[in-house]
Each structure stands twice: as C-alpha cells, then as structure tokens.
Chains A and B, each alone.
Chain A
Amino acid sequence: MVVPSLKLQDLIEEIRGAKTQAQEREVIQRECAHIRASFRDGDPLQRHRQLAKLLYVHMLGYPAHFGQMECLKLIASPRFIDKRVGYLGAMLLLDERQDAHLLITNSIKNDLSQGIQAVQGLALCTLSAMGSAEMCRDLATEVERLLLGPSPYVRKKAVLTAVHMIRKVPELSDIFLPVCAKLLHERHHGVLLGTITLITELCERSPAALEHFRKVVPQLVRIFRTLVTTGHTTEHSISGVSDPFLQVQILRLLRILGRNHEESSESMNDLLAQVATNTDTSRNSGSAVLFETVLTIMDIRSAAGLRVLAVNILGRFLLNSDKNIRYVALTSLLRLVQSDHSAVQRHRPTVVECLREPDASLSRRALELSLALVNNSNVRAMIQELQGFLEFCPLDLRADCASGILLAAERFAPTKRWHIDTILRVLTMAGAYVRDDAVANLTQLIGGAQELHAYSVRRLYSALAQDISQQPLVQVAAWCIGEYGDLLLEGSCEETEPLQVEEEEVLALLERVLQSHMSLPATRGYALTALMKLSTRLRGDNNRIRQVVSIYGSCLDVELQQRAVEYNTLFQKYDHMRAAILEKMPLVERGGPQVDEEAKESKEAAPASTDPQASKLLDLLDLLDGTSGDAQQPPPLDPSPEGTLIHLLDLPCAPPALAPIPNLKVFEREGLQLNLSFVRPPGTPALLLITVTATNASEGDVTHFVCQAAVPKSFQLQLQAPSGDTVPAQGGLPMTQLLRILNPNKAPLRLKLRLTYNHFGQSVQEIFEVNNLPVETWQ
C-alpha cells in the first residue's frame, strides 16, 4: 500500500479538529493558498499530493476550479501516480460544461494507445465518466480498436465506454454494433456483462438494432443455462447464486428482445419457467434474479400459465420477511393490476395485510394496490378494511385514502344506504382531508335517494351534534337538516335508533355552527340557509329564526350579510312567497336527458310531500263517483318517462291569446273568496290551465292556507306550488296557485276542491265540488 502524503493526512486531521465552521474555513483557505503557490512554481513531483489535498477540500464543498489545469498537467505526465490522481481530478472537477475538458482529449488518445493496461484503464474510465459528445466522436475509433484487443481487462472497460458513447452520440451505434456478435462468445464474465449491456443499449435506441439482435436470443438462452448449471464457482457467486449481476443483465436483454415478439418470447418460455422455479431465494441475490425474471415474464408475450406463475411469485414475495422484497412486490403488482386483474385479486388478503405495515412507503403502496383491487364483489369488505386503515394511517396518506374510498364507493356501492353510510363515516373520520367536491357529491346522493331522506337527516344530525369541527360533514349535515328538518322531528325511522329531537335543539345546533369560530364562511352560509329553510318546515313560530337572520344582516362577512338581508326581506315583504322559495330542492342531476323532467316533477310534487294529511284525500276521491280520480300525489323522483307526462311538462305555461274563458267564483266565506280562471293554450287541445286566486276582504289574515284538488280518473292533474300560504287581510296580496289538467279524452271536466286554513283564530276545512264549469274548459 502506498503511504499517503503526510501533508494530506495532516490537513485532514486539522480540518476534522476544527471546532467551528469559521475555523475550518480558515484552515482551508490557508492551505489553498499554499496549493495555489505550489501549482505555480512548486515541485512538479509533488503536484499530485497538492491536487489530492484540493480534491479533499472540494468534497467538503469548497471551490477548487483553480485545480482544473493541474489535472491536465498531471494526466500528461508519464508517471502513473500523476495520471491516477490527475484522472481522478478530471472526473471530479471537469465536466463537459467546463471549457478545459476538451483539452483532455489528446491525453486520453495518447494513453489509450499506450500498451499499459492500467493507464488505458484510467483513460477509459475517465472517458466514460465525463466524456462529452465531442470527445466521444473523436475517440470512438480508438475505443473500437480496444474492444478487440488482447487484454480482457481493457476489453471490459472499452465495452462499457462504448455504452457511454452511444448514450452521448447515438449515431456511433453503427460503429459498435458489428463487433457485438463476436464479443458474445466471451468467457470472461466482465466482458460478457459489458457486451450484454452494450447490446441492450443498442436495442433500446434503434428498432433496426432490435430486429438484428433478436436472432441471438437462442444464444443468450444457452449462455444463461451454462452460467447457471456449470457449478457455483465462488469467484462470481453471491450466496450460491452464480453471478447474479450477469443473470439479471441477460434477463433484462431478453425482456427487451421478447417484448411484442411472439417467436422470441416463445423461445424464452422454458428458460424463464426454469429460473422462476429453481432460483434459490433464501438470500437477496436470488430474489434479485427472480424479481428480474418476473419482470421479464410480465413484459413479453409469455404463456398464460407463466404469467400466473409470475404473479404468484410476487404474491409469495409479499409474505417475505424482508420488507425490501415486499416493497418491490407491491410496486410490481400495482403495475400488473390492470392487465392481470384476476391473478392479482387472488392475493388481495395479503395486500390488505400490508396496509398494517409500519413503514410508510410500504403502506402507501399497499393503499394504492388495495384501491385498485376493489370491485363489485369485494367492495363491502374492502371498504371496511380501508376505513380501518384511514383511522390510523399516517397523515400524509389520509387525503389519498379518503378520496380513494369515496371514489371506490361511488363506483361500486351496492346500495344507496351503504353509500351514504360510507361517505358519512369517511367524513367523520377524515373530514378535513376530503376533496372539495365530496360535499356536492354527498348532497347530490342524498337528494336522489328519497327513501333515505329520513335516515340520512337523522344520522347527520347525530353526527353533527357530536362534532361540529369537520367542515365537509358540517356542510352536508346543515344542508340536510335544512331540507329535511321536518322528517327529523317527525318521529321514528326504523333504520336508526329512536331519536327524540326538539325543534329548539335543532335551531340551537345550527346556531352553534353559525357562531363557531371553526366554521368556514361557506359552512356558515350553509347553516344560515338551513335555518331559513326550517322556517317553513317546522311548526313552531319563527321568531327565533327571524332573530338570527336579522342579526346576521349586519355581519362583517359580505356573503353572509347578503344572504341574511335577503332572508330578512323574505320574512317581511315577501312572506307569502317564502314557502315557495324555500320548498324542497329539485334533484340536481349531473347530466342526462331525464334531468329537466325529473326536476320539474319533483318541484311540483314538493308541496304535496309536506302535506301530513294525505289520507283525507281519499275521502275526496270517493266523492267523485267511485271513479277515484288521480289525486294530487307526488310523482316519484325516479324518471317515469310516460308519454303524457313528458308532453305535459314540455308545454309552455304562458297563456296565449285566445278567446278567454270566463272566470268562475267557486267559494266565499267570511270575506275569503276563491276564484278560478281558465286558459286553454292553442296547439295543446288536451291541456287546461286553471289559476286559483284567493282574496281576503276581511279584517283578519287567513293563514296556513292549503288548497287541494281532485279530478276524475281519466284526467291528469298537476298542482304547482302556491304563491304562499297566507292571504293577508283587507285586500292584501292575493294567493295564487296554478293547476294543470290534461284531458286527452275530452271527457267532461269535474273538479273537487278541499280547502284548509286558519281564519279569525279558527281552523277551517271546506270540501266542495266546483259547479258550473264552463264547457269550454274541456270540449
């Protein structure tokens, strides 16, 4: 061993002894001055020592560019020690961005043509480390010559230098391609390995080369077999596996040659099957070879059985105690999950186990793979596992996990109720991490599942009552309570535990959300609107709500203030319109032709669904000669594209100018009067539009006014929302309501009305048939 220069050792000692950064800097600056002086006019025999010191200093992060020229001088020197350090310096200090680097070319050329192996080795090494495109072009022929030289030591380096040259200057492929065939016969492992690497590089860059080298597949197979079977020489083996480096490189080349090529793939099948089954994987070296085999099997046109074998090997890797091996297995399975879904599915339980890995990079992979494995048949079990994972997973995975669960739930939900439950659970556990559209999605989903309204609002109410901090959850809950607050107070719902909720409690909860500093502005908007909606849903008086609304009329938040002011106005000036405006929302679909019909249907159906006395309607119907007419029932929210309905809904509402049918006064009592006006739009002979107008000339307001209608069976009746439920006293703004009647058979029109209202402190109910309907209404 060469005894290193004392000076260098001392320098290193001194630097390490420095107690502060400043001290270290001082030592180094002092020494660099020395070095510079020595470069200028010091002993050339010591130059290599000075450069070595400089290189050490450079590694610590200090500038060393003034040593660049010294590298060149040292390389040009005939002494081996100079060349050794000089070339090292070149690799560390010079790169193709430096102007100085081209000056090396000549020295390298000289050294390559010298007979001394070690020197040639240095030159080749440097060329392959920092050779620019220009240098490569200049020196290509030299390197080519060395490929066929006498010494395997030089040949192995030349071959890898050729690899570098091709990477830098792809056109040089032409020079190096021809010699590969010969080099494949090499016995020296190093040269052979380099050759395989070279061929791989050539094939990756040029389809023509790829074509050309396909014919060596049989030869590669032979080489591989020889390698594996001719005993395990300790020289090249690692843990009993013969030269795993070479095996892996051959497998990789086979992969490239077999890709998209039936014939080549077929000729490798046997070998791959053998390697897959016989490789000893007790140590990492064997696993590395097996892993490369699996990658190759999956990438070429291999037989189906072989593919399944490969996936199963990965499945076995998943159970390996070495977490590195588990990691590569998860990564590979993720790549395969699309193309070989059912094969990967078989390992689902193991993958799910990996979710419990303490190592975050493993659990992340396991999460991605688990999400990819969710399908219709395993969705319930998988989502349960994933929700379990969500609870305890590291924070940086929460968002991905939450979105993943929501997406999977959307794709594969077996029932709406399960879907709602799942989203609810995710929002409760990880509400802060879900994507923005989760709120919209959930409200959309709940809105569309009418049978689950009561269930949803109860569950959301309970969740909200426990925790008002998770914003997405709060927003959805507030929206739901606003929409379906009446269902919340109604009583029991079989699907949840009995929940006795008082009106005051609901209002208090929403107020709490409004006032909480945890609530985002958007959340508070939801809460305020919900409170407003409740003013029509709840039976108690609205003073509390009015109060809140008027307080927020002076809120600093502009959006909230605007809403509050508008709602305030709704309470005061436009109170008669309040019910209509705040009725249940139509389902907002994301698209599709059914959209508008549904929306309109649900809108018209709304007032009926809030009617708690639907049973009384049957009495009404009975009175119509047993031919029970179509009472005004809410049409289902699901699309029912019956021809007549669509026809009805397509028709415009505006009454056209035709011979007007005279109005009809149908009811009068204590100052409350009901008038009917009729319109038959031209072009739609079957349609009749009736406007019911209620006016109040008395001293007292008429409140809670509800008008219902019934027609004979052959007719279709649609009631639109009334303008309000209050008819103010003394000729105040009348209440109006539109009836649309379809009479395709032109049968005589019969109409029965039922009125309920409060007047002068008394509740009134009137049922009567409308007489004297003008003939023009149905002929």
Chain B
Amino acid sequence: MQFMLLFSRQGKLRLQKWYVPLSDKEKKKITRELVQTVLARKPKMCSFLEWRDLKIVYKRYASLYFCCAIEDQDNELITLEIIHRYVELLDKYFGSVCELDIIFNFEKAYFILDEFLLGGEVQETSKKNVLKAIEQADLLQEKIE
C-alpha cells in the first residue's frame, strides 16, 4: 500500500498515512485530486478506480471515506478486507465508532492503524491481538503519566 486517506463527505481530511516519501506539496496535491475524484463517484459504482498509475480502493462508512492506494500487482479484494478490518478495530475500540470519535481522538486512530499495518503491509491478522496491544500501550501511558 502506498497511502491511506480518510476524509469526510465535505472533503475534510481526517487521517493521512503515507508509506512512500513525498514532499508536503505533493501530498497536498494528491490528496486534493483524489478526494475530488472519489467524491465525484456515484453511490452505486464499484469500489475500484484507476488513478494515475495506481489502483484506488475506497469504501464509504457512514460519513467517512476510507481510501487506499495500492500497486498494480496488489489484490483489490483483499484491500477491501483491510479497510473493513480497520473499521472493525476502530469500532471495537471506541464502541460504535462515528466520525466525531476519529476527529477528537485522531492520535488514537493513528495508533490503532500502526498496530494493524506496518510499512504498508499487514502486520497482525488477529483482531484480538491488535486490540490487546493498544490496551497495553494505553495502560503504559497512564502508568507513567
């Protein structure tokens, strides 16, 4: 995976995870263009589109779009599973997650993602293990603070 973006229906960015080195300017440009492209899609259209030399896999959950950019040889269908797994993790952690949770707790959203994916690849396939890791980190944080 090259990057993952989360954005609202109004095009406001809620999370950006980049797994390739790009300048700030380039990131902004890509984000702007991609957000526009995805928001222009009609609701019944399929979840895949070609954009530049990448494949884009996106899915809308309530008011948030989850958008991943994968390479030519990557499997689109499994990417949908990746997105879904991430949403499940957020849901379990926040208890019925909604966009506001992600806005007000964006650092947590990142921490959870970083326990699921690493360097653009899946690191942990057990939901239980990911949530356990976060729990332990949270405890560690509290302990010292």
Contacts and interface: CB of A to CB of B under 8 A. Distances in A.
Whether both chains belong to one complex is answered with yes
A245 B119 contact: no
Contacts of B111: 84, 88
Nearest to A292: B75
A94 to B, nearest CB: 11
A60 interface: yes
A724 interface: no
Interface in A328-371: 328, 358-362
B3 to A, nearest CB: 11
Given A324-B47, A359-B46, A197 B124 contact: no
A2 B123 contact: no
A496 B96 CA distance: 70
A480 interface: no
Contact of B81 (A118, A189, A238): A238
A116 B144 CA distance: 13
Contact of B48 (A16, A92, A164, A327): A327
Nearest to B57: A324
Contacts of B91: none
A553 interface: no
Given A56-B106, A189-B125, A325 B77 contact: yes
A25 interface: no
Interface in B11-30: 12-16, 18-19, 21-23, 28
A81 to B, nearest CB: 5
Contacts of B104: 4, 9, 12
Contacts of A157: 118, 123
B36 interface: no
Nearest to A85: B107
A59 B13 contact: yes
A256 to B, nearest CB: 10
Interface string B80-109: 111001000000000000000001111100
A118 B139 CA distance: 11
Interface string B121-141: 111111111000100111011
B129 A194 contact: no
A161 interface: yes
Interface stretch (A125-133, A529-537, A668-676): A125-133
Given A55-B107, A84-B137, A236 B126 contact: yes
A97 B81 contact: no
A556 interface: no
Contacts of A324: 46-48, 76-77, 80
Nearest to B28: A61
Contacts, number: 161
B45 interface: yes
B140 A80 contact: yes
Interface in A1-35: 1-2, 4, 9, 12, 16
Given A236-B125, A291-B75, A361 B46 contact: yes
B52 interface: no
B145 interface: yes
B78 interface: yes
Given A55-B107, A84-B111, A361 B78 contact: no
Contacts of B21: 95-97, 130, 132
Interface string A154-172: 0011001101100000000
Contacts of B16: 59, 92
A323 B46 contact: yes
A700 interface: no
A52 B15 CA distance: 14
Nearest to A192: B125
A248 B76 CA distance: 11
Nearest to A52: B107
Nearest to B77: A288
A81 B145 contact: yes
B80 to A, nearest CB: 6
A362 B107 contact: no
B33 interface: no
A246 B125 contact: yes
Contacts of B85: 238
B61 interface: no
A88 B46 contact: no
A2 B141 contact: yes
A193 interface: yes
Nearest to B73: A252
A245 B122 contact: yes
A617 to B, nearest CB: 66
A324 B13 CA distance: 25
11 contacts: A12-B104, A55-B107, A79-B144, A163-B119, A189-B125, A189-B126, A190-B126, A236-B125, A248-B78, A327-B76, A328-B76
Closest 9 CB pairs of A and B: A288-B77, A128-B119, A160-B118, A164-B119, A288-B78, A190-B124, A323-B46, A327-B46, A359-B45
Interface of A: 1-2, 4, 9, 12, 16, 52, 55-56, 59-61, 79-81, 84-85, 88, 91-92, 95-97, 116, 118, 121, 124-125, 128-130, 132, 153, 156-157, 160-161, 163-164, 189-190, 193-194, 197, 235-236, 238, 243-246, 248-249, 252, 284-285, 287-288, 291-292, 295, 323-328, 358-362
